[in-house]
Amino acid sequence: MKSPSATLSLPRFRLHLRPIRMAEVGFLVFLAVVMGLPLLFLLSGSFNLAAPGKPAVYGFGNWQRAFTDPGTLSALWMSFLLSVVRLIPAMILSVMFAWLIARTDMPGGRFIESACWIAYFVPDFPLVLAWILLLDPNFGFLNSLAKSLPFVEGPIFNPYGFLGIVWVHTSTGGIWFKVMLLVPVFRRLGATLEEAARVAGANTTAMLWRITLPVLSPMILAVAVLSFIRGLQSFNTELLLGTPVGIYVYSTKIYDYLQREPRAYGEATALGSVFLFVLAILLFFYWRYLSGNKKFTVVTGQGYSTLRVKLGRWRYAALAGCLLYVAVMMLLPLAFLVIGSFMRRYGFFNIASPFTLNHWYNLLADPIFLVALKNSLIIASVTAIGGILLYSALAYLLVSRRTITAPVLESLCWVPHVLPGILLSLGVLWLFLATPLRFFLYGTVWGIAFALILADSPVTTQAFKAGLLQLGADLEESARVSGASWAYAYRRILLPLLAPIAAAVGLMNFGSALTSISTPVLLYSHQSRPLAILLLEYSFTGELERAAALGLLITLIIGSMMLIARKLGLQLSRSD
Amino acid sequence: MAQTVLEFRAVVKRFQSVNAVDGISFSLQAGEIFTLLGPSGCGKTTTLRLVAGLEEPDAGEILIDGKAVAAPERGLCLPPEKRHLGMVFQSYAIWPHLTVFENIAFPLRVRRETGEVVRRRVEQALEVVGLGGFAERGATQLSGGQQQRVALARALVYEPAILLLDEPLSNLDAKLREQMRVEIRALQRKLGLTVLYVTHDQAEAMTLSDRIAVVQRGRFEQVGTPEEIYENPATPFVAEFLGRMLSFEGTVSRNHTGSWVEFSQGAGRSAPSSLSESLSHGTRVRVLTRPEDVEILGAGELTANQLAAIIEQVAYLGDRFEYHVRAAGVQFVLSAPKKQRFRPGDAVRLCLDSGRLHCRPL
């Protein structure tokens, strides 16, 4: 299209591709501004000694202060250490789960898969609260239980600290998402590879160790690296369980800097930039690994496997193990969240009439709660609808094959996928404070929705892209040849066909907007405080029972939305 | 005199630096089936999409009914919906959220026909493709063959200037494919349709087409009736693409009694009627023939247009024999009827049809 002899046809470009070119340029500018500028402000802000919005004074003072603070490096180190350590049990368990579900005759595999799907959407903050209710040294239920045993002196469990964080992560983020990613990988493994191993004389164990796992190892490693990078973004658990005992990761450290009076923007930004730099290096190698690895092509073998490993009597043991894990890691904390929300004083089972509805009454009657609920609903709706409009258009542009800048657009919309919420929040904060945007967006629900829409860009765009690719260009083109204008074809053909995806993605983004803490935490004000931040405040002020009620309420809203989304055909776990 | 419905004038379409369509010119007459035949990636589908307006040419001119619809030099390119065409996609592109009726009604609704007209014409179209009574089915409840008919009905319902068919039969099983081939041909005759047909299947092209263009690397290798291009392939590519060709090497001999070709290794001689005067005595040539034009005879005296050969292997295929034969230093496979039977090692004669031989200098 761009060969030198095409100079004659240049006017044609102007005449006919103008709308789509304009859309492309528009998107490019928009994405560069909203994704790129926060990053740029983050980097330049780290050299700015003045507070945001004040005349800039450049220097290395922030970096100096950040790195002479012994807490900074230890926070970075702790981020990596935590992310690596909790990855090990999570990977082993999720590979086992995925193998049992996809490759063996374990009964109830579909059920376990659905359980993982649902567990993935249970918001993590209420779960962290629930584990506090269970494990707290003073009032934790399991500790009280243990105390009644002989030879036990004092509390034996303690959620505050390194091991507590690892344990709670195994319950919250832990294995659910990895299982959802790995099950299709195990399912898609060409049956012939395993069958050939069988014919060659391998028993189940030999086949598993010498064929199945080695063949899948690139994919498993990819999932592990992805989880590691996502793990670095964690904020909530570390905030609740690490900060009280002085364990900081970089994200809680940034939060800490910004809670000081006056806010230490400079140090926070410097720390964020360092982390960004490390992250960029990690991502570069991850990307190199993914794109350079030809082994991936083997895995996309043909068809489904009919060969399932027969576990014999062990199949029930396997199922019991899976069920036990789900029960302990998900049902137990959820149950205690319910109990906690109905207890007069949590942990005191022996007082007269220990149970009460008061916390629910107080919560629902609290004017602050009502404002937060309204804020949350506005934020989540705007996020969901805005995301659908913006990213369906972007996906259409990317799929239409007519954009020259598709790779740039594509990588811009992946930025938030790896950018931790707190850094995105910090970058957006800089964007608001240093530009006239602060008059419209700073401290408002719109500003929070803006940041959340950015955070949703990778998944939403990919969902629409996948949908459009699956539909194929033919459906639209045949409408055009049949005589429909672009707008008519879009309205009558593409829109109805994309509606289920839009609804499902919208619900998902609605849900994540409701539960996100790390993204709005630097952007809210008292007028725009959403529910999740209110939950954070309740748990800081020790109103655990009311926090449990609010956490449960949020969980219920999310749960019902996800069930609707699933009915609408959103199938995250099957990529066919 | 048939009227020209579609005309290509030196049309070029580039993808990056590759010329997918490399200066093609042709015209399509009213009421004919014109087929673009070629291997995948040869540019035939791109050509079709250029007609539909789904791709924009980089140079040249495309005219429909004498009016330019794409002329990049003048900055002209009508969008697909303004070209009044019907198209059947390889995937059928049946809209899954609409019923059969609404799928077929779509082109009429776009053109704001009244409800009565829509109903009548959709029913007609359904009758024509043999799907009467299917109107209220969901489009996804149909079999492959039925979807194909819906796609056809949808393309025909508003009587387009040209019907564009992009490998419409390639997703059907062999039996259905044959049946649809006959039906499309009958439909085209009955309605007097002008059809531009794209396929990579030579049998499909041969049975359906009035004229075939064999396409390779974005160019037309040869245009002609099925018989012309099969019997007189203009290039080795065309010959190879449309069935097999046997090739023997030899030397031209001329004296006062006439001219002929001596095959190498003294295997025999032949006097192709197409032997050109420009090939002088002693020129090395390649003699080409279709295998079905070669007859196997038992051992005996070699006469003109015969080659000495040895049977090397025999395969029994039920309806015929397949012989692996070696002659003039070349090994090849010939089919023969069951009435005669040779064994491996038998010396035989191959009888050539001098009227169907092609000579090319080496």
A481:B87 CB<8 A:
yes
pLDDT tens-digit map of B189-234: 988 999 999 999 988 999 899 999 999 999 999 999 999 999 888 8
Report the alpha-carbon distance of residue A128 to residue A134 in Å, rounded.
10
pLDDT tens-digit map of B47-63: 999 999 888 899 999 99
Q: Is the dihedral of CA B137, B141, B142, B147 positive or negative?
A: positive
Tokens of A412: 């811009």
B93:A480 CB<8 A:
no
For position A401, what pLDDT does the model report? 63
Report the alpha-carbon distance of residue B104 to residue A560 in Å, rounded.
39
B358 CA: distance to closest CA in chain A (Å) = 40
Minimum mean pLDDT among A314-328, A379-393, A554-568, B155-169: which range?
A554-568
DSSP structural state of residue A570:
-
A261 CA: distance to closest CA in chain B (Å) = 58
Taking CA atoms, what residue in A is nearest to B157?
A: A482
pLDDT tens-digit map of B179-191: 888 888 988 998 8
Q: Is the dihedral of CA A232, A237, A243, A247 positive or negative?
A: negative
CA B61 to chain centre: 24
pLDDT tens-digit map of A410-468: 777 777 777 777 888 888 888 888 778 777 888 889 999 999 998 888 888 888 888 88
Residue A9: phi and psi, rounded to 5, are: -90, 10
Tokens of B166: 């992009």
| Alpha-helix residue ranges (DSSP H) falling in B222-359 | 226-231, 236-241
Report the alpha-carbon distance of residue A249 to residue A247 in Å, rounded.
7
- pLDDT higher for A80 or A21? A80
The angle at the Cα of B51, spanning A1 to B25, to the nearest 5 degrees, equals 80
Of A16, A483, A497, the CB nearest to B81: A483
Of A11, A12, A497, the CB nearest to B97: A497
B185 CA: distance to closest CA in chain A (Å) = 22
SS (H, E, C) B32-76: CEEEEECCCCCCHHHHHHHHHCCCCCCEEEEEECCEEEEEHHHCE
B95:A493 CB<8 A:
yes
Taking CA atoms, what residue in A is nearest to B17?
A: A3
> Backbone dihedral region of A289: left (phi > 0), alpha (psi from -120 to 50 degrees) or beta?
alpha
A24 CA: distance to closest CA in chain B (Å) = 19
Name which of A411, A451, A458, A457 is nearest A430 in CA terms. Answer: A451
Residue A7 pLDDT level (bands cut at 50, 70, 90): very low
What type of residue is B275?
A: L
Q: What is the mean pLDDT of chain A?
A: 80
B54:A481 CB<8 A:
yes
Residue A572 pLDDT level (bands cut at 50, 70, 90): very low
Of B16, B76, B83, the CB nearest to A1: B16
Q: Which of residues 252-291 of B touch A (CB under 8 A)?
A: none
pLDDT tens-digit map of A89-138: 899 999 999 988 888 888 888 888 888 888 888 888 888 888 888 888 88
| B14 touches A at CB < 8 Å | yes
Taking CA atoms, what residue in A is nearest to B162?
A: A481
Residue A20 pLDDT level (bands cut at 50, 70, 90): low
A472:B16 CB<8 A:
no
Identify residues of A whose CB sits under 8 angstroms from chain B CBs: 1-3, 5-6, 8-9, 11-12, 14-16, 472, 474-475, 477-486, 488, 492-493, 496-497
For position A570, what pLDDT does the model report? 52
Of A2, A475, A484, the CB nearest to B93: A475
Mean of pLDDT values over B158-162:
88
Stated as kind and residue range, the H or E segment containing B35 is: strand B33-37
B52:A475 CB<8 A:
no
A12:B97 CB<8 A:
no
> What are the chain A neighbours of B62 within 8 Å (beta carbons)?
none
pLDDT of A5 above 60: no
B110:A474 CB<8 A:
no
> What are the chain A neighbours of B167 within 8 Å (beta carbons)?
none
Determine whether B170 is exposed, middle or buried from the number of CB atoms within 10 Å of its CB (0-12, 13-18, 19+): middle
Indicate the pairing of strand B33-37 with strand B211-216. Answer: parallel
CB of A288 within 8 A of CB of A74?
Answer: no
Of B58, B90, B110, the CB nearest to A6: B58
Of A6, A9, A478, the CB nearest to B89: A478
CB of A137 within 8 A of CB of A158?
Answer: yes
| B112 touches A at CB < 8 Å | no
